[in-house]
Amino acid sequence: MKKNENKDMFKAAWNYAAAPESTDHINLQKQYDLYIDGKFIKPVKGKYFDTINPSNDKKIASVAEATAEDVDLAVKAARKAFKGWANLSGKDRGKYIFRIARLIQERAREFAVIESLDGGKPIRESRDIDIPLAANHFFYYAGWADKLEYAFPNRKPKPLGVVGQIIPWNFPLLMAAWKLAPALATGNTIVLKPAESTPLTALKLAEIINDCGLPKGVVNIVTGAGETGANIVNHPDINKIAFTGSTGVGKYIAKAIAGTDKKVTLELGGKGANIIFEDAAIDQAVEGIVNAIFFNQGHVCCAGSRLFVQESVAGLVIQKLKARMETLIVGDPLDKNTDIGAINSKKQLQTIQNYIKIGLSEGGEIYQPECSLPKEGNWCAPTLFLNVSQSHKIVQEEIFGPVLTVQTFRTINEVIEKANNTPYGLSAGVWTQNGAKIFHLTQRLEAGVIWANTFNKFDATSPFGGYKESGFGREGGLQGLKPYVKFE
Ligand code: ADP
């Protein structure tokens, strides 16, 4: 194939087919209130903040900013609802959760468009991954609600009480589903806070929860920034905090609840290693590497952000990787052909740009394909760093953007040591045709999730979570029920 032929083919297809998903029939309000005790109510202090479309810097809506008073109302409503919900039969709890899943499916298109508008992710991903997985998560845990005695044989699980759930901006609806579904199935009541840059799908979910007649106060959704989150963490009548977000905030939460009897699960950052051996199916591996780091703009805690290639195939892999990066389309999140959408916020764009500067100052060799990025909004071209080593900051720290570091290795022991040499332990990927090698690596890599010859595959039935500074506790699967129950 001639140089760039591939790229031109994609660009031509793009120009021809560019057809942004329509925003007609997307029901968005100008202003969103808090969802507390089965009602949408104004915040006590009357404060609102703007949620911004990261692809054009335009305001989408104003959203209520919950202060300590509002959080207190939400916790009181959840406490009042607790006994009734916990004592409802598992079968009836399951019916409500099932109904939530069905309503997400019915309104899937609206959810997908709003997710892409508010968070910047490509519509193809919202439509094919985020929203269906969110619905599946509710379906899956609806099924457990009346089977808890099988999940915990010979022990009687009891719900913990009122759970505070704080979620990030990278998979807004999906993270709400990961948090809410197992907590509801086990009989807890909830105060959930979405991230301040992506509150809209959680508020849409509040509408669904309201429509499906869930008893009032069982789920309360409060919006606001870090301070609102801290008010949830520090509220004395909360029994557990479930958090997904940055390691910095995770550490703050762990300290804040030390000495209290609150329980906690933390799902924090990562610096996933993706390892290609010389016997791998190289084309398939390159496609997997691209998906591992550029999916969702690299705003993925389990992203494969460090690539390790066996020396004998390094030249070939890097050449193929660069060629594939040239074909990636960066642009309008609502365009069905977009591969890399908008960076979620100005703040995150600055963080990524700062890491790119650090990478260069440490001697890394950068590669970015040419892309004409839109003038407005937050954008970052897919980025590769060669010539990096273990001590480099961009190899050690989570960037949470479309930036991949590439290192080479000779032996299996060398790559295991390098892969494990970060403070994180969330994910890893192994590319080889040799099954024994896969089993050997899954034993020795310190990562909660290890994919073989694939990456970034999620399913409601599989547990997900980390080691080391990536946090503790598991979400998904049978294991995902445990953090929401106690035994007496
Ligand atoms: P980022 O730094 O990438 O924005 P965060 O970890 O700050 O990621 O955000 C994850 C979630 O944690 C968001 O909902 C955010 O509002 C919330 N949060 C931020 N700071 C605090 C805090 N001190 N206490 C509780 N929640 C917080």
Where do runs of H (alpha helix) occur along 197-295? 200-211, 226-233, 247-257, 282-294
391's CB contacts (< 8 A; 6+ apart) are none
Looking at residue 12, its pLDDT comes to 41
User: Ligand 1 within 6 A of 226 CB?
Assistant: yes
Catalytic residue list contains 301 = yes
Residue 18 has a pLDDT of: 63
Is 3.40.605.10 the CATH number for 31-268+467-487? yes
pLDDT in tens, 378-429: 999 999 999 999 999 999 999 999 999 999 999 999 999 999 999 999 999 9
| H-only helix segments in 107-241 | 108-119, 123-125, 131-144, 148-151, 172-185, 200-211, 226-233
- Residue 297 DSSP symbol: G
The β-bridge relationship of strands 467-468 and 383-386 is unpaired
C-beta 245 within 6 A of ligand 1: yes
Distance CA 88, CA 465 (A): 30
- Residue to probe by mutation, ligand 1, list 221, 235, 238, 249, most atoms within 8 Å of CB: 249
Question: Containing H/E element for 386?
Answer: strand 383-386
212 in active site:
no
Q: Which amino acid makes up residue 181?
A: A
How confident is the model at residue 68, as a pLDDT?
98
Helix (H, G, I), strand (E, B) or coil at 428: strand
pLDDT tens-digit series, residues 186-231: 999 999 999 999 999 999 999 999 999 999 999 999 999 999 999 9
Q: Which parts of the chain register pLDDT below 50?
A: 1-5, 7-17
Q: One-letter amino acid identity for 70?
A: D
- Give the distance (Å) from ligand 1 centre to CA of residue 225: 7
Q: Is the model's pTM score more than 0.85?
A: yes
Q: Cα separation of 32 and 204, whole Å?
A: 10
For residue 233 and ligand 1, the question of a CB distance below 6 A is answered with yes
Residues in the chain: 488
Q: Which of 21, 110, 125, 301 is catalytic?
A: 301
Closest to 342 (Cα-Cα) out of 291, 290, 297, 404: 297
Let me know: does 163 contact 121? Beta carbons within 8 Å.
no
Residues of the chain with CATH 3.40.309.10: 270-452
> 5 is written with which tokens?
């032929």
Atom of ligand 1 nearest to the CA of 196: 16
pLDDT for residue 13: 43
**For the CA of 194, the nearest atom of ligand 1:** 14
Q: According to the model, what pLDDT value does residue 467 have?
A: 86
At 471 the pLDDT is 83
Task: Assess whether the C-beta atom of 168 lies below 6 angstroms from ligand 1.
Answer: yes
pLDDT at residue number 256 = 97
The three-state secondary structure class of 356 is helix
Which CA distances in Å does 110 have to 39, 51, 201?
22, 17, 9
Report pLDDT for 169. Answer: 98
Angle CA 260–262–263, to nearest 5: 135
CATH topology for 270-452 is Aldehyde Dehydrogenase; Chain A, domain 2 (3.40.309)
pLDDT reported for residue 278: 98
Question: Looking at the DSSP assignment, which residues form a beta bridge with residue 365?
Answer: 386
d(CA 224, CA 142): 29
Report whether residue 193 contacts ligand 1, using a CB cutoff of 6 Å.
yes
Q: What pLDDT was estimated at residue 234?
A: 98
Quickly tell me which residue has 């764009």 as its tokens. 349
Q: Whole-angstrom distance between the N-terminal and C-terminal Cα of the chain?
A: 67
Classify 320 as helix, strand or coil.
helix
**Environment class of residue 234 by beta-carbon count within 10 Å: exposed (0-12), middle (13-18) or buried (19+)?**
middle
